[in-house]
């Protein structure tokens, strides 16, 4: 029986039973963290071979350059060759950064803010700067634009990507709209893949602001959870077809391929964008860590090997995601008190409770020892207008811990939903 | 005989002989680079042990944290413990950055520009922002402030550091002066160590601008060239004594201790400065490369070992510096056409030619196959008002190459000087 079909007595009875189950859980004194998309130790072990690939004492790239020394601002050519196919760009359309794609995105926003994009007025000199933010989305994206005083506009997500009608209309009429945050494949947190039509419409956007940029964070482009993954269209290729190739900055990293915090990040864009960014980049750094680039190059050898390597991650992650969605399917679906999409890749399950319940669920979980991503975190300014979205991160805990945490989670969803329905 | 004592015929004869020597050199088809302070391959080999310290498969720091994963924004505590003594700060007065102290300095300027220092008005909102620049100085410092539209004011260097009378006067009366670039020990390029009095006067500065910061780039603090090095006073300690501890940001790195571009950089400052910077830093990055921090920690163990390690660099570098200064002493001193200080540490020999000759000397060297740092590079905007300073970087070439390059250099100095005197 769906919860909303229960009469008050049934609901009270349901609530009391759930409360007892919750109290028993609380007594266990759990201490688990499902708050961030952190790989597990088991996943980190997959890349241990990379730690010894330089043991042969050869520190030169294929051009003979000694990677232990200064130089090569935009990354060694071998690293460009390895990672360019991940973004779907040519080797002169990529910059290899340090260990953090977030840092590269921050820097692009900072550059636009302080110096402007390809000769346009710096955003800091504009009366108003706005960004479009498909929601729910990634909290760290929103923090960057918030930090620079950018006004953020929520764009609803659909099953095929952000609402393109709304986006096309807004960017065409308002030249203070300077950008949009996108996670096009296995979106954070929904796990949605942008459809071909969505990518084409993005590539063909004609914003009023010449310096509008799509921040295309392709963080999960090869992070599949199934054996038959689908790929999204290459936005830069599509943009080139319509003479619009400067519209997009693409980002990727190996944070969830090798080591988070000790991986390699990169940016792909048109030659014109890349040349301008490279020139600016030289002011702040001589070169990034080329030994770490070389480790990745030697460990993987080819992009094909890198893609193959991801299957080892899938083998660890897929059962965990199944544990989450199976539990939701069994315990929540019959009660009609939440919805989610079973993701085919990425790092999250995006759970929508009854409106007005997300904060309460997160609080209940916390009080019983399970930390979730804060309710609201998936929206700009931390404000979820319906207070219903919760991002679940199954990757870090062991499957046993995860099962325990999910047992608690569904109890908290039930309890908060019953409380909510009883209060109405 | 000094060149300026020669009559015209003697000078012409001198010039013709020098020209012949130059032409012979040109015929050799040299191709050498003395333009940057790059360690040599021999120096890089000193730290090779660091590449295998993680081979035991233990990737946890002493708190048990797995350094392969996300987290610990401001650096692992072991790295703080190791590097804090290099800056002379407590472990809560340091942030461990990525591989580049230049990048940390850039970020501090950027933060002041976009968000302001400890609540002060962002520099971008000020009518005018000025920096004091002791000259000659480091070109990459000047490029950062130039990039943000900061007006740079030349401050003459003396044998004890920058002209403090001028600095005290300027900062006291002009609140648009927001900072100063300093390389206090073995200054770049002069190799001057700031005297105790200079450091105390810096620590006691009372600038009109509350958000004035000393950018204390202690890049060469343990990079000695002699067995009996002198140490400068700790500016943060001195500043604390006079209640002025927020006035300084201190920077250091292991770029010239382990690997340039694959080392670790750090920033030291008062707790109040550090707390504010840390909060801002979290917007742009989750954590820097902690595996590389751990490599340094395991390789050195203690700060004392790190200091001991520097003697291996000294052994490689000191003969090269001697080759440079011996040649200048033998070939240039008797002619009275240049001056320099024999540095006791750092990476450069700062050569001053007769006024108006530096560009010509660099050009002559280049045409004969030896690349020097561009004349003017040691001054803001690349403008050396007297066109006389040339930064020599002896570290990268082998001693044989260096000797060859210096043979050419002194010929070019002689030729340019003779040309100059004949034209007057």
CB count, 10 Å around CB of A173?
10
User: How close A70 gets to chain B, by Cα (Å)?
Assistant: 5
CB contact under 8 A, B44 and A260: no
In which band, very low, low, confident or very high, does the pLDDT at B231 lie, cut at 50, 70 and 90? confident
Question: What is the rounded distance in angstroms from the CA atom of residue B214 to the CA atom of residue B220?
Answer: 17
| A230: pLDDT strictly greater than 90 | no
pTM recorded for the entire structure: 0.98
Comparing alpha-carbon positions, the chain A residue that sits nearest to B48 is A57
Nearest to A69 among B38, B143, B147 (CB): B38
| B351: pLDDT strictly greater than 90 | yes
Question: What is the rounded distance in angstroms from the CA atom of residue B72 to the CA atom of residue B74?
Answer: 6
* Local structure of A422: helix, strand or coil: helix
Residue to mutate among A59, A262, A294, with most B CBs inside 10 A, is A262
Question: What is the rounded distance in angstroms from the CA atom of residue B11 to the CA atom of residue B5?
Answer: 9
Q: Which residues contact A157 (CB under 8 A, 6 or more apart)?
A: A134, A135, A136, A163, A187, A190, A192
On the question of a cis peptide bond just before residue B111, with omega within 30 degrees of 0, the verdict is no
Share of chain A above pLDDT 70, in %: 100
Nearest to A98 among B98, B113, B259 (CB): B98
| B234: pLDDT strictly greater than 90 | yes
pLDDT digits (tens, 9 = 90+) for A109-128: 999 999 999 999 999 999 99
Question: What is the rounded distance in angstroms from the CA atom of residue A385 to the CA atom of residue A153?
Answer: 12
CA B385 to chain centre: 21
Question: What is the rounded distance in angstroms from the CA atom of residue A99 to the CA atom of residue A257?
Answer: 12
Angle (deg, nearest 10), helices B77-87 and B303-331:
40
On whether the CB atoms of residues A321 and A225 are closer than 8 A, the answer is yes
On the question of a cis peptide bond just before residue A56, with omega within 30 degrees of 0, the verdict is no
Question: What is the rounded distance in angstroms from the CA atom of residue B38 to the CA atom of residue B310?
Answer: 16
Residue to mutate among A39, A105, A289, with most B CBs inside 10 A, is A289
CB contact under 8 A, A286 and B102: yes
CB contact under 8 A, B286 and A102: yes
On the question of a cis peptide bond just before residue B40, with omega within 30 degrees of 0, the verdict is no
Question: What is the rounded distance in angstroms from the CA atom of residue B195 to the CA atom of residue B341?
Answer: 16
Question: What is the rounded distance in angstroms from the CA atom of residue A329 to the CA atom of residue A340?
Answer: 9
Which residue, among B221, B272, B283, B284, has the nearest Cα to B248 in the 3D structure?
Answer: B272
pLDDT digits (tens, 9 = 90+) for A144-188: 999 999 999 999 999 999 999 999 999 999 999 999 999 999 999
* B51 vs A contacts (CB less than 8 Å): 54-55
On whether the CB atoms of residues B151 and B129 are closer than 8 A, the answer is yes
pLDDT, chain B, mean: 97
Comparing alpha-carbon positions, the chain A residue that sits nearest to B46 is A68
Q: Which residues contact B214 (CB under 8 A, 6 or more apart)?
A: B179, B180, B182, B202, B205, B235, B247, B248, B249
Q: Which residues contact A212 (CB under 8 A, 6 or more apart)?
A: A171, A177, A178, A179, A205, A247
CA A7 to chain centre: 41
pLDDT digits (tens, 9 = 90+) for A283-316: 999 999 999 999 999 999 999 999 999 999 999 9
Nearest to A260 among B70, B110, B280 (CB): B70
Long-range contacts of B161-167 (CB under 8 A, 24+ apart): B161/B134, B161/B187, B161/B192, B161/B193, B161/B194, B161/B195, B161/B198, B161/B199, B162/B132, B162/B134, B162/B194, B162/B198, B164/B197, B164/B198, B164/B201, B164/B202, B167/B132, B167/B201, B167/B202, B167/B205
CA B186 to chain centre: 8
**Per-residue pLDDT, A9:** 97
**Per-residue pLDDT, A119:** 97
For residues A202-226, average pLDDT? 97
pLDDT digits (tens, 9 = 90+) for B243-276: 999 999 999 999 999 999 999 999 999 999 999 9
Give the β-pairing of B349-353 and A94-96.
Answer: unpaired
Angle (deg, nearest 10), helices A290-300 and A303-331:
80
Kindly state the helix (H) or strand (E) to which residue A386 belongs, with its residue range: none
Share of chain B above pLDDT 70, in %: 100
Question: What is the rounded distance in angstroms from the CA atom of residue A346 to the CA atom of residue A188?
Answer: 7
Question: What is the rounded distance in angstroms from the CA atom of residue B182 to the CA atom of residue B188?
Answer: 9
CB contact under 8 A, B283 and A54: no
Adjacent-strand bridge partners of A214: A180, A248
| B149: pLDDT strictly greater than 90 | yes
* A285 vs B contacts (CB less than 8 Å): 100, 102-103, 106
For residues A90-112, average pLDDT? 98
Nearest 5°: the CA angle B378, B380, B385 is 75
Q: Which residue has the tokens 């979820």?
A: A384
Nearest to A261 among B39, B41, B286 (CB): B286
Question: What is the rounded distance in angstroms from the CA atom of residue B318 to the CA atom of residue B227?
Answer: 10
Question: What is the rounded distance in angstroms from the CA atom of residue B345 to the CA atom of residue A49?
Answer: 40
The tokens of A109 are what?
């926003």
The tokens of A384 are what?
């979820």
**Per-residue pLDDT, A187:** 97
The tokens of A8 are what?
């008050």
Give the β-pairing of A349-353 and A389-392.
Answer: antiparallel
Q: Which residue has the tokens 């520009």?
A: B113
Nearest to A288 among B67, B99, B290 (CB): B99
Share of chain A above pLDDT 90, in %: 97
Q: Which residue has the tokens 């693409």?
A: A250
On whether the CB atoms of residues B193 and B344 are closer than 8 A, the answer is yes
CB contact under 8 A, A44 and B69: yes
The tokens of B217 are what?
């780039």
**Per-residue pLDDT, A228:** 87
**Per-residue pLDDT, A231:** 87
Residue to mutate among B70, B264, B296, with most A CBs inside 10 A, is B70
**Residue A302: C-alpha distances to residues A79, A268, B202 (Å):** 10, 18, 54
On whether the CB atoms of residues B135 and B166 are closer than 8 A, the answer is no
Residue to mutate among B97, B107, B284, with most A CBs inside 10 A, is B284
For residues B122-148, average pLDDT? 98
Which residue, among A423, A408, A354, has the nearest Cα to A2 in the 3D structure?
Answer: A354
Question: What is the rounded distance in angstroms from the CA atom of residue A140 to the CA atom of residue A109?
Answer: 13
Tell me how long chain A is.
424
Nearest to A114 among B54, B114, B283 (CB): B114
Question: What is the rounded distance in angstroms from the CA atom of residue A206 to the CA atom of residue A216?
Answer: 17
pLDDT digits (tens, 9 = 90+) for A32-44: 988 889 999 999 9
pLDDT digits (tens, 9 = 90+) for A3-52: 999 999 999 999 999 999 999 999 999 999 888 899 999 999 999 999 99
**Per-residue pLDDT, B228:** 87
Nearest to B100 among A38, A41, A285 (CB): A285
**Per-residue pLDDT, B230:** 78
* Local structure of B332: helix, strand or coil: coil
Q: Which residue has the tokens 């063909």?
A: A204
Question: What is the rounded distance in angstroms from the CA atom of residue A137 to the CA atom of residue A190?
Answer: 8
User: How close A255 gets to chain B, by Cα (Å)?
Assistant: 9
Which residue, among B377, B320, B398, has the nearest Cα to B35 in the 3D structure?
Answer: B377
CB contact under 8 A, B103 and A143: no
Backbone phi and psi for residue B117, each to the nearest 5 degrees, phi listed first: -100, 120
Angle (deg, nearest 10), helices B77-87 and B290-300:
70
CB contact under 8 A, B259 and A52: no
**Per-residue pLDDT, B36:** 87
Question: E-assigned strands of A356-409?
Answer: 370-372, 389-392
For residues A240-268, average pLDDT? 98
**Per-residue pLDDT, B357:** 98
* B283 vs A contacts (CB less than 8 Å): 106, 143-144, 147
The tokens of B86 are what?
């290099």
- H-helix segments, A67-163: 77-87, 101-115, 139-147
CB contact under 8 A, A284 and B107: yes
Question: What is the rounded distance in angstroms from the CA atom of residue A353 to the CA atom of residue A361?
Answer: 9
């Amino acid at each position: 029986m769906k919860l909303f079909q229960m009469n008050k007595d049934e609901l009270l009875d349901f609530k009391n039973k759930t409360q007892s189950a919750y109290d028993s859980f609380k007594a266990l004194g759990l201490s688990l963290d499902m708050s961030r998309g952190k790989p597990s130790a088991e996943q980190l072990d997959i890349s241990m071979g990379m730690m010894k690939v330089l043991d042969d004492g050869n520190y030169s790239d294929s051009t003979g350059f000694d990677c232990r020394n200064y130089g090569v601002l935009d990354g060694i050519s071998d690293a460009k060759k390895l990672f360019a196919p991940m973004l779907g760009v040519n080797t002169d359309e990529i910059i290899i950064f340090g260990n953090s794609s977030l840092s590269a995105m921050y820097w692009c926003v900072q550059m636009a803010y302080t110096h402007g994009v390809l000769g346009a007025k710096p955003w800091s000199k504009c009366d108003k700067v706005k960004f479009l933010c498909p929601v729910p989305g990634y909290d760290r994206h929103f923090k960057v634009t918030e930090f620079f005083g950018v006004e953020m506009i929520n764009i609803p997500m659909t099953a095929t990507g952000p609402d393109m009608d709304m986006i096309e209309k807004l960017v065409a009429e308002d030249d203070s709209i300077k950008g949009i945050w996108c996670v096009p494949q296995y979106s954070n947190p929904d796990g949605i893949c942008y459809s071909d039509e969505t990518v084409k419409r993005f590539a063909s956007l004609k914003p009023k602001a010449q310096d509008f940029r799509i921040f295309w964070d392709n963080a999960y482009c090869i992070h599949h959870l199934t054996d038959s993954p689908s790929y999204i269209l290459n936005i830069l290729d599509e943009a080139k077809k319509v003479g619009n190739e400067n519209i997009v900055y693409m980002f990727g990293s190996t944070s969830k391929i090798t080591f988070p915090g000790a991986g390699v990040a990169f940016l792909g864009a048109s030659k014109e964008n890349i040349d301008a960014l490279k020139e600016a980049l030289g002011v702040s750094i001589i070169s990034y860590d080329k030994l770490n680039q070389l480790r990745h190059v030697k460990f993987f050898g080819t992009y094909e090997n890198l893609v193959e390597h991801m299957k080892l991650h899938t083998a660890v992650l897929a059962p965990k995601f199944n544990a989450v969605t199976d539990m939701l399917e069994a315990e929540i679906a019959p009660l009609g008190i939440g919805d989610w999409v079973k993701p085919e890749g990425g790092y999250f399950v995006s759970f929508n409770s009854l409106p007005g319940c997300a904060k309460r669920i997160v609080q209940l979980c916390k009080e019983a020892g399970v930390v979730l991503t804060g309710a609201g975190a998936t929206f700009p300014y931390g404000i979820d207008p319906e207070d219903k979205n919760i991002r679940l991160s199954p990757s870090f805990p062991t499957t046993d811990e995860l099962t325990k945490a999910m047992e608690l989670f569904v109890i908290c969803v039930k309890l908060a939903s019953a409380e909510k329905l009883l209060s109405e």
